[in-house]
Amino acid sequence: MGYAPAEAIAIGYGNELRSDDGIGQRVAKALHLSKVKSLAVHQLTPELAEALAHANLAIFIDACFTSESSQVQVQLLSPESFKMIAGHTADPRSLLALTQALYNRCPPAWWIKVPGVNFELGCYLSPFAEVGVAIALQKITQIIDENFSLLL
């Protein structure tokens, strides 16, 4: 699969059939910014390394349990061999490390974790998660604005 050069890539991931676990995909689908390629995927897979290699900035969006935090978290990432990529599930840091190893290039990256409260079977987000989606979209816009020079 070939990718056209993207200035920034936003990858939202999670299971849309597990209620709030679909937060990442919901954010990715709602993101409409110029110079940002948005992907909504079920899982992070090794195949995404090629798209990351062509980006100047990357943002990963995922759900987390409210026990981890009740606020939307933004974390600057670096490529690490945090966990080996097992099959089709990866930590964003592992995917960045794979991108670096395969393409000798890795974009600056952020991980946005949006808290959820309902991870049961279902296709709707909780009201709590809906608020988190709106906050995540604002934070992504802020990251893009603050790193505009990377996108030139």
Helix (H) or strand (E) holding 131, with range, is helix 127-146
- Looking at every residue in the chain, the average pLDDT score rounds to 89
The answer, yes or no, to whether residue 82 has pLDDT greater than 70, is: no
User: Which residues on neighbouring strands pair with residue 77, listed in sequence order?
Assistant: 109
pLDDT at residue 34 in the model: 87
Per-residue pLDDT of 104-127, as tens digits, reads 999 999 999 999 999 999 999 999
Q: Is the pLDDT of residue 68 over 80?
A: no
* pLDDT in the model for residue 90: 66
Q: Output the six-digit token pair for 30.
A: 């709602």
* pTM (2 d.p.): 0.90
Q: What is the pLDDT of residue 81?
A: 58
24-49 pLDDT, tens digit each: 999 999 999 988 999 999 999 999 99
Residue whose entry in the numeric block shows the structure tokens 């996108």? 151
pLDDT > 60? residue 85: no
Residue 4 has pLDDT above 80, yes or no: no
Cβ-based burial of 122 (10 A; exposed 0-12, middle 13-18, buried ≥19): middle
Q: What pLDDT is recorded for position 80?
A: 74
Q: Looking at the domain 8-83+90-124+135-151, which fold is it? A: Rossmann fold (3.40.50)
- Domain borders along the chain are 8-83+90-124+135-151
CA distance 101 to 17: 33
Residue 103 pLDDT level (bands cut at 50, 70, 90): very high
Return the DSSP state at 3: -
